[in-house]
A and B are shown apart, each in its own frame.
Chain A
Amino acid sequence: MIKVEDIHKSFGDEEILKGISTTFDKGKTNLIIGQSGSGKTVMLKCLLGLFKPEKGRIYYEESAIQDMDDDQQRALREDIGMLFQGGALFDSMNIEENVMFPLRMFSKQKKSEMLERVNEVLSRVNLENVNKKFPAEISGGMQKRVSIARAIVNRPKYLFCDEPNSGLDPKTATLIDNLIQEITHEYDITTVVVTHDMNSVMEIGEKVVLLKKGKLVWQGTNQEIFKTDNEDVTNFVYSSDLFKKIREVQIKEQ
């Protein structure tokens, strides 16, 4: 579980996060949603410790990240898996080396044991016979799956995903969303996904946090999001034609 208490983050005179408090539950896919510029990525980077908030506290279980020294933060990061928007695979390494990288850095396993684990996670993300290929030789969807494999290879307690299905076709995007949710349940980890994709909200939003101009304006589940009268939620959710039509159908049915 990750708990956030009243975090504020500014860049120069501009305050990006204005006192956000919430909890991200263990064993659930927690989604941070909002329009571009709402502070989602800044919030994610604060959670990861890449940005230091001026005010407020972030707790991983019982420990506040602000109270940790560099070594403790580094130890915490060994428990974190991250899926970046573009995959962030290392160009100079093949797929096998990319996935093995966290194991090589942090574990004392033999190479054969590491290889076994790499093949296990690659097969978990439905990738086979790609071990010796380089990131540039596989598709965007496959790169995302390799990135997920790399994120979970070290059995993390926390998984962060930044726009996991950006740039993917709808079918592959759904596949990635489902994979993230399955892994969250299977490994019983705390997953935080930053997205502005309503399909992701529908598919995997077990807890949804809506940010607007740096403030948390609503939180609930993907089921509740269609029932709430919160104006900010309806403005965000029904901004696309597809969801406007769904709304019209819902109103007619009522």
Chain B
Amino acid sequence: MNSIQLLKPAFKKIRRVFSLRSRLILFILTSGSLIVTGVIYYGLYRFLDYVGRAPMLGETFGPLVGGLLVSKLLEMLLLTLFFMVLFSSIISALSAFFLNEELPVLMASPQPVSRIFRSRFLMMSLESSWMVIAFFLPALLAFATAMKANPVAYFIYPFYIGFFLLLPNICGGFFALMLGSFFPIRQMRKVFQFLSIIVLTGMIFFLRSLEAEKLLNPSYFKDVSHYILSLQIPLLEYSPSSWLHKATMTLFRNELSTSFTQILPMILLIAGGLFVLNLFSVKFYRESWQKSMEAVENQVLGLEWIRKALIFPLRFFDKTFRVIATKEITTFLRDPAIFSQIFMMGAIVFVYGYNLSILPLKDIPTLYSGEINDSLVFLNGPFIGFILASIGMRFVYPSISMEGRAFWAVKSSPVRPERILLIKFLIYVIPMFLLGITLCAVTNLIFRVSSPVLFWMSFINVGLISMVVTALAIGVGTVYADFDADSPLKIAGSYGGFIYMISSGLFIINLLSLEAYPMYRFFFQRFVPVSRFSAYYLTIVCVVLLFFCSAAWVYIPFRKGLEVIDNYEPE
């Protein structure tokens, strides 16, 4: 039996999850995912193609600086990719190496420990990387197209990425193994979730502090040579991402042999890393796993005052609502992993606000400033929608799964499933709505929105989006519920989480497309009188469709979720 065969139960579980889904739903969702992938690929390709030519800088200077800009963007993307996988690999490793439920059986079997370790390493690498690959690969291939790479590069590049992603996984594996040797792992996993989020948040601030927008505007620099120099300096010298960056650039420029030479150090490092990791696993893995079995769960009741303050107003509500909301708040606040998520989301919201505050609105020629400002206000609602969807994925989507195996208590109680879903929706839609409205109000203030149409439109958009993304999170979270999962992070990173993000994205596209015509006709063409009957007629159709579609986006996932709860049978 080899390491891959040891993973059979995990693969079978995934297959079972898919086989239980309706083929039509799977087809629709897969098509939706492919459309989003296509949009990412094509949108980024067009952007990079434009940046690569940099026509505003002239025919000679433009392509020179444009090429450097594209290269810089690629480097930033690879660095982000590395840290994202590193962060998620450590958490996955702690889970796969020490907390996986198959481990007691495997450890008791006569299988060599190195083989068990290799199977766990493979499991954690796939778990930590698949979603990142799904989102980043179309973006990376857009770079290839923008740089007019040969077809052979498209074939080779996924291997480069595969090798590259092995590195953070090896680092994560080492780190988890070492942590397991010295610390009680059940505690460390929670502590590390927090620490790794801080590192990732630091990464977000680091990337933000690079102020990429300045690279698009040479007037920020003293002179041309200073500007070009700043584009040529690597973000992190001698890092795996800088090696891959160099190898990618030469590969996309069709210099194959140079590219292979440049990727060689990384491959050698990976081979050495795998060899040493294997040695370490033989020496430390069994012992550290045994230690992890001895650790007890956290019994500390922290932040009780926040919990009490939050549940206090619930006493004025209906009894069922009160107890379900109290349970949600209590279990939420007592899961240390959740704080790291709050921290992370706080950072994303901060960076979003900061990005808006430094937008060079004052540099835009006065004649167009109104139009550009208005367009930004119109697009701001959907951007807030994406922030809300990310928050929904981490906090709302796992809500049903986190009921865990204790769900029998709710299912056997006299409370109807639709009431449970509705209560969960109400519990989460309020904070989501408040956050959305606050972000909208602050950003409207930054944009100094003068038009009442746009002003109120942005609030209606955010209101609709917060309702739909919450309903989607509850509904899709129920359809793809994993009652055996031990962490909300793992649940959010599952296939269902991906489907949730795709669905949220599709709703936002749906909303924008229905609003585009009325906004264009009545606002952006405000100096042209609206006289044609067809314009009014089409606008009414769009508005009716908007509310109808939003209601459908709320109702359908709820309905599907209810069907799943109705047919749910505990293992």
Query: Do the two chains bind?
Result: no
Chain A residues proximal to chain B, CB less than 8 Å: none
